[in-house]
Structure 1
């Protein structure tokens, strides 16, 4: 998952819905993750649900 440039996140109390995208817009992953997973990811742009 080192190719992620944008991560879109749907915030929740315990589990987040995360969508990772590469620079060309293709999907890198879609998964439900915990806070610990997010803290371990490389730096990227985070888009938060409004």
Structure 2
């Protein structure tokens, strides 16, 4: 029925929106950050620096 179309569009919007939010939350909390202490950070920066030789 054409009269019911806006309601079904709204329901579809909420379903896709909730699915997207849940997917983003799951991806955010499933990713593990690697903690580096200060010495490792300094060494990593020194090793990754580029030496330009002109």
Q: If the length of structure 1 is used for normalisation, what is the TM-score?
A: 0.22
Structure with the greater alpha carbon radius of gyration: 2
Q: Which has the higher helix share?
A: 2
| Structure of greater relative contact order (alpha carbons < 8 Å, 6+ residues apart) | 1
Q: Which has the higher strand share?
A: 1
